[in-house]
Chains A and B, each alone.
Chain A
């Protein structure tokens, strides 16, 4: 293989710098006692203290985590059921139709998902708030889990299931003793993806959240619209560190499963 020249390495480095600059910029100024994102005055932990003393913010962080964990958990269950359902369908046309419908929510712009869910919740009469946010997060996470689990199911040899049935396993035994253990890596990957999608989502949540309920993204948006506040910088640094831990964890799970190409991309 041909080696990279100096120029191309430089190009790559510039791309890296640009990609990371805003993140480090935020972190750098989160320690600025001056209170602005220019003219660094003195080093301070003030903004971090403010983050930790803000009970409202603490509740919002808690909300975000609860929604993400619940949504990821429930959508993982639904997604696994969905993936098994799709792989059990024998007719090609039905399966392709199901798969296309599954992908609709992945490719639709967030604005449309948000707007249509808003209409639906209002029509059914679900109060906007925790429940509506949770349901939407589950809804848009299910197809992601399906996508992550399906390849694992297709890798599985059907003879395994046949063998289990021949040996007298019930439907439940087949599922819990044969199928689920085999697809566990896919399930974990799906759960993590759903978690990150849910933690990150802004646009959909923005539409379906009422007045009383807020997640971090929505809160950051309204804070940012009011202008610069270094509390956001401190908060973002903490989120950055948390995300790093999550991603590294996910990366090692993916590595262990020897699935190098399993890195999904957010919308």
Chain B
């Protein structure tokens, strides 16, 4: 093997340092400055006050709900998909909406959930009467789940595809019914797909800010909304960075938790 120098590394490492390492360090650096530019740890003290802790908790709660509902809808869908005839085509059709700009889909829901929108018209027909749907927790969670469904289906679909069908046959031969087969064989073996799906949903769900603004009407404040608020509205970059630091920490924890490790049962 020739020991020529790897000159390709130079531009690539330059990119990594400039756009991966430096931005993270800058976020950490800025989190120690207050709005007037004094060096301080006040931002961290502020983060641990009830206001911010409550916001973090509610942000978590929403992200959790969104992830749970997305999983609940996506798992069966992915499972049924693997059993269809032209599954690659169907999968493409499922993923296609995820290519449409997120804002356009959110905007559509402003119409659907609006006071005179289709959802309310439907409620009228059912005799329930029109309700305030837009700008509620329900609409926020619904739209978020809607947006994340394809990202959850894809990894689960791939995991199900990798599953060796003879294992299911074996389980059947040994007398397990459908439910037992699912619980003991199929689900545990596709857990990796579920994990990466949850990872692909949970972290973005913590940091969504356009949906909260458009659909939840500022009633829901996630970590992402708070960061955007601090950076672009109040211009308190220090506090925004502090929240970002915590978001990064949460992200790393989440990755460690759901990362591809050997399952140590």
Interface residues of A (CB under 8 A from B): 1-4, 8-9, 11-12, 15-16, 18-23, 25-26, 29, 36-39, 78, 81-82, 84-86, 88-89, 98, 101-102, 104-105, 107-120, 123, 139, 142, 165, 171, 196, 199-200, 202-203, 206-207, 216-217, 220-221, 224-225, 227-228, 232, 236, 239-240, 243-244, 246-247, 251, 260-261, 263, 265-267
Contact = CB atoms under 8 A, between A and B. Distances in A.
B2 A119 contact: no
A133 to B, nearest CB: 14
Contact of B9 (A89, A109, A110, A119): A89
B237 A22 contact: no
A165 B2 contact: yes
A220 B103 contact: yes
B92 A251 contact: yes
A244 B240 CA distance: 37
* In the A-B complex, the 7 residue pairs with the closest CB atoms: A37-B111, A116-B23, A109-B207, A22-B108, A85-B8, A82-B12, A139-B19
B26 A225 contact: no
30 contacts: A1-B83, A9-B80, A11-B76, A12-B80, A12-B90, A19-B94, A19-B97, A23-B108, A26-B107, A36-B116, A37-B110, A78-B11, A81-B11, A82-B11, A105-B20, A115-B227, A116-B27, A120-B22, A139-B19, A202-B102, A217-B103, A221-B103, A224-B110, A228-B110, A239-B100, A243-B99, A263-B91, A263-B154, A265-B200, A266-B98
Interface stretch (B40-48, B50-58, B145-153, B187-195): B145-153
B30 A200 contact: no
Interface in B1-25: 2, 4, 6, 8-9, 11-13, 15-16, 18-24
Contacts of B213: 225
B161 to A, nearest CB: 8
B83 A111 contact: no
A200 B19 CA distance: 20
A243 B100 contact: yes
A266 B21 CA distance: 23
Given A9-B80, A15-B149, A112 B165 contact: no
B100 to A, nearest CB: 6
Contacts of B98: 265-266
B68 interface: no
Contacts of A207: 228, 231-232
Contact of B231 (A88, A115, A224, A265): A115
B9 A4 contact: no
B9 A116 contact: no
B231 A82 contact: no
B77 interface: yes
B259 to A, nearest CB: 11
Interface in B188-229: 199-200, 203-204, 206-207, 209-210, 213-214, 223-224, 227-228
A21 to B, nearest CB: 8
A230 to B, nearest CB: 10
A244 B227 CA distance: 33
B96 to A, nearest CB: 6
Given A22-B146, A39-B116, A101-B21, A221 B210 contact: yes
Given A112-B227, A115-B231, A265-B151, A239 B104 contact: yes
Contacts of A165: 2
Contacts of B26: 116, 119-120, 123
Contacts of B237: 119
Nearest to B87: A260
A232 B111 CA distance: 12
A220 B110 CA distance: 13
Contact of B100 (A84, A101, A120, A240): A240
Interface string B102-125: 111111111110101110010000
Contact of B150 (A3, A116, A265): A265
Nearest to B12: A82
A74 B102 CA distance: 25
A217 B102 CA distance: 9
A171 to B, nearest CB: 7
Given A11-B80, A37-B117, A123-B26, A111 B207 contact: yes
A123 B25 CA distance: 13
Contacts of A25: 108, 111-112, 118
